[in-house]
Structure 1
Amino acid sequence: MSDSRKGRRPLVADKRYAAQPKKARKTKAKPKAKPKPRKTARRKAPTRRRGGIIGLIQRLFAWLLRLIWRVVWRVGAVACLMLGLIVGYYYTTLPDVTELLDGRARGSVTLLDDSGQVFAWRGDQFGGAITADTVSPHLRNAIIATEDKRFYRHFGLSPRGIASAVRINLSEGRGPLSGHGGSTITQQVAKLLCLGVPYDPTVQTEAEYETECRRGTIKRKASEAVYALAMEAKYSKDEILTIYMNRAFLGAGARGFEAASQRYFGKSAANVTPAESAMLAGLLVAPTRFAPTNDLTRSQNRAATIVRLMNEQGYLSDAEARSAQNNPAELSEAAEARAGGYFADWVMSSGPEFFTRKTTEDVIIKTTLDQRIQRAADEAMQWVFENKIRDGSKAQAAIVVMSADGAVRAMVGGRKTKVAGAFNRAVQAKRQTGSAFKPFVYAAALDLGYSPNDTVTDEPLTINIPGSGPWSPRNYTNRFYGKVSLTRALADSLNIPAVKVSEFVGRDLVRQVASDFGLESDLAAGPALALGASESTLIEMTGAYAGILNGGSSVEPYGLVELRLMGEDEPLMGTGGGIGERVVQEPAARQLIYMMEKVVSEGTGARAQFGGRQLAGKTGTTQAARDAWFVGFSADYVAGVWMGYDDNTPLTGVTGAGLPADIWRETMSRVHEGVPLKPLPMMSPSQAGEVRDPSGGQQGGGGGAVGILEGLLRDILGGGTDSGRERQPNVSGSDR
Structure 2
Amino acid sequence: MAQGSGRRPLVADKRYPKGGSRKGGGSTRRASAKAKKPEAGGLLARLFGGGKKPPSQKRAAPRKPKPAPRRSGRAKRGVLGVMLAPFRWAFRLVWGFAWRVGLVCTGIVVLAVGYQYAKLPEVAELLDGRARGSVTLLDEKGEVFAWRGDQFGGVVTTETVSKHLKNAVVATEDKRFYRHFGISPRGIASAVRINLSEGRGPLSGHGGSTITQQTAKLLCLGQVYDPDVWESERAYEADCRKGSLWRKATEAVYAMAMEAKYSKDEILSIYMNRAYMGGGAYGAEAAAQRYFGKSANQLSAAEGAMIAGLLTAPSSLAPTNNLKRSQDRAATVLRLMHEQGYLTAEETRLGQTNPAELSEAADARAGGYFADWVMDTVPSYFGDQTSEDVVIRTTLDQRLQTAVEEAMKHVFSTKVREGSKAQAAIVVMSADGAVRAMVGGRKTRVSGVFNRATQAKRQTGSAFKPFVYATALELGYSPLDKVLDAPYCLDIPGSGEWCPQNYTRKYYGEITLTQALRDSLNVPAVKISEAVGRDLVRRVAGDFGIDNEMAEGPALALGASESTLLEMTGAYAGILNGGSSVTPYGLTSLSLVGDSEPLMGSSGGMGERVIRPEAARQLVWMMEKVIAEGTGQRAQIPGWQAAGKSGTTQAARDAWFIGFTADYVAGVWMGYDDNTPLTGVTGGGLPAEIWHEAMVRVHAGLEPKPLPLQEPVPVAVPQQPTSERGNRPRLGQELGRAVDGILRDLFGN
SS in 2 for 1:95: coil
Q: Aligned partners of 2:566 and 2:350: how far apart in 1?
A: 49
Q: Which one of 125, 140, 146 corresponds to residue 114 of structure 1?
A: 140
Shift in Å, 1:536: 1.7
Q: How does 1:364-513 map to 2 (within 5 A)?
A: 364-513=391-540
Q: How does 1:665-704 map to 2 (within 5 A)?
A: 665-689=692-716, 692-693=719-720, 695=722, 699=726
Q: Aligned partners of 2:202 and 2:603: how far apart in 1?
A: 57
Query: Does the alignment pair 1:191 with 2:217?
Result: yes
Shift in Å, 1:61: 9.6
Query: Does the alignment pair 1:228 with 2:249?
Result: no
Q: In the alignment, is the contact (CA less than 8 A) between 2:321 and 2:446 conserved in 1?
A: no
Q: Aligned partners of 2:254 and 2:248: how far apart in 1?
A: 10
Residues 620, 283 of structure 1: alpha-carbon distance in 2 compared, 3 angstrom cutoff: closer
Q: Aligned partners of 1:504 and 1:167: how far apart in 2?
A: 78
Q: Which one of 160, 163, 182 corresponds to residue 137 of structure 1?
A: 163
Q: Aligned partners of 2:347 and 2:491: how far apart in 1?
A: 84
Shift in Å, 1:529: 2.7
Q: Deviations over 1:459-501 (max 9, x none)?
A: 4444444555554434334444344333222222233333333
Q: Aligned partners of 2:458 and 2:432: how far apart in 1?
A: 24
Query: Does the alignment pair 1:127 with 2:153?
Result: yes
In the alignment, what sits opposite 1:544? 571
Residues 276, 465 of structure 1: alpha-carbon distance in 2 compared, 3 angstrom cutoff: same
Q: Which one of 87, 98, 102 corresponds to residue 124 of structure 2?
A: 98
Shift in Å, 1:580: 0.9
Structure 2 unaligned runs (5+)? 1-56, 729-749
Residues 455, 59 of structure 1: alpha-carbon distance in 2 compared, 3 angstrom cutoff: closer
Query: Does the alignment pair 1:52 with 2:79?
Result: no
Query: Does the alignment pair 1:82 with 2:103?
Result: no
Q: How does 1:345-364 map to 2 (within 5 A)?
A: 345-364=372-391
Q: In the alignment, is the contact (CA less than 8 A) between 1:461 and 1:700 conserved in 2?
A: no
Q: Aligned partners of 2:478 and 2:130: how far apart in 1?
A: 63
Query: Does the alignment pair 1:651 with 2:651?
Result: no
Shift in Å, 1:125: 3.2
Q: In the alignment, is the contact (CA less than 8 A) between 1:501 and 1:694 conserved in 2?
A: no
Query: Does the alignment pair 1:626 with 2:653?
Result: yes
SS in 2 for 1:630: strand
Query: What is the letter of the counterpart of residue 524 of structure 1?
Result: A
Q: Deviations over 1:346-386 (max 9, x none)?
A: 22222223322433433332222222222222222222223
SS in 2 for 1:283: helix
SS in 1 for 2:392: strand
In the alignment, what sits opposite 1:603? 630
In the alignment, what sits opposite 2:26? none
Q: Which moved more, 1:594-603 or 1:492-501?
A: 492-501
In the alignment, what sits opposite 2:278? 251
Q: Aligned partners of 1:240 and 1:106: how far apart in 2?
A: 22
Q: Which moved more, 1:465-474 or 1:604-613?
A: 465-474
Q: Please, what TM-score do these two structures have when normalized by structure 1?
A: 0.81
Q: Aligned partners of 2:649 and 2:100: how far apart in 1?
A: 87
Q: Aligned partners of 2:354 and 2:643: how far apart in 1?
A: 50
Q: Aligned partners of 1:417 and 1:539: how far apart in 2?
A: 17
Q: Deviations over 1:47-104 (max 9, x none)?
A: 9887513469799999999988887776665544433322221112112223322334
Q: Which moved more, 1:500-509 or 1:438-447?
A: 500-509
Q: In the alignment, is the contact (CA less than 8 A) between 2:117 and 2:261 conserved in 1?
A: yes
Q: Which one of 368, 375, 386 corresponds to residue 341 of structure 1?
A: 368
SS in 2 for 1:365: strand
Query: Does the alignment pair 1:306 with 2:327?
Result: no
SS in 2 for 1:539: helix
Q: Deviations over 1:485-540 (max 9, x none)?
A: 33222222233333333333333332222111111112333333333232222111
Residues 45, 586 of structure 1: alpha-carbon distance in 2 compared, 3 angstrom cutoff: farther
In the alignment, what sits opposite 1:5? none
Q: Aligned partners of 1:61 and 1:431: how far apart in 2?
A: 79
Q: Please, what TM-score do these two structures have when normalized by structure 2?
A: 0.79
Q: Which one of 278, 297, 309 corresponds to residue 270 of structure 1?
A: 297
Q: In the alignment, is the contact (CA less than 8 A) between 2:656 and 2:670 conserved in 1?
A: yes
Shift in Å, 1:169: 7.0
SS in 2 for 1:85: helix
Q: Deviations over 1:388-417 (max 9, x none)?
A: 223343433222111111111222223333
Shift in Å, 1:344: 2.4
SS in 1 for 2:575: helix
SS in 1 for 2:159: coil
In the alignment, what sits opposite 1:21? none
Residues 530, 365 of structure 1: alpha-carbon distance in 2 compared, 3 angstrom cutoff: same
Q: Aligned partners of 1:44 and 1:329: how far apart in 2?
A: 91
Q: Aligned partners of 1:167 and 1:341: how far apart in 2?
A: 42
Shift in Å, 1:443: 1.8
Q: Aligned partners of 1:46 and 1:183: how far apart in 2?
A: 67
Query: What is the letter of the counterpart of residue 52 of structure 1?
Result: G
Q: Deviations over 1:538-559 (max 9, x none)?
A: 1111101101111111111111
Q: In the alignment, is the contact (CA less than 8 A) between 1:456 and 1:690 conserved in 2?
A: no
Q: Aligned partners of 2:255 and 2:403: how far apart in 1?
A: 53
Q: Aligned partners of 1:321 and 1:653: how far apart in 2?
A: 52
Q: Deviations over 1:279-337 (max 9, x none)?
A: 11122233345333444333323323333443454444555444323321112346546
Q: Aligned partners of 2:300 and 2:60: how far apart in 1?
A: 82
Residues 90, 695 of structure 1: alpha-carbon distance in 2 compared, 3 angstrom cutoff: same
Q: In the alignment, is the contact (CA less than 8 A) between 2:215 and 2:270 conserved in 1?
A: yes
Q: Aligned partners of 2:330 and 2:724: how far apart in 1?
A: 80
Q: Aligned partners of 1:459 and 1:600: how far apart in 2?
A: 25
Shift in Å, 1:267: 2.7
Q: Aligned partners of 1:176 and 1:399: how far apart in 2?
A: 49
Q: Deviations over 1:629-665 (max 9, x none)?
A: 2110011111111223334343333322222211111
Query: What is the letter of the counterpart of residue 425 of structure 1?
Result: R
Query: Does the alignment pair 1:324 with 2:364?
Result: no
SS in 2 for 1:409: strand
Structure possessing the higher radius of gyration over alpha carbons? 2
In the alignment, what sits opposite 1:714? none
Q: Aligned partners of 1:100 and 1:293: how far apart in 2?
A: 28
Q: Aligned partners of 2:324 and 2:132: how far apart in 1?
A: 30
SS in 2 for 1:284: helix
Q: Aligned partners of 2:429 and 2:233: how far apart in 1?
A: 37
Q: Aligned partners of 2:188 and 2:176: how far apart in 1?
A: 13
In the alignment, what sits opposite 2:550? 523
Q: Deviations over 1:569-597 (max 9, x none)?
A: 43221211111111112222112111111
Q: In the alignment, is the contact (CA less than 8 A) between 1:292 and 1:299 conserved in 2?
A: yes
SS in 2 for 1:554: strand
Shift in Å, 1:338: 8.6
Residues 219, 536 of structure 1: alpha-carbon distance in 2 compared, 3 angstrom cutoff: closer
Q: In the alignment, is the contact (CA less than 8 A) between 2:483 and 2:722 conserved in 1?
A: no
Q: In the alignment, is the contact (CA less than 8 A) between 1:338 and 1:419 conserved in 2?
A: no
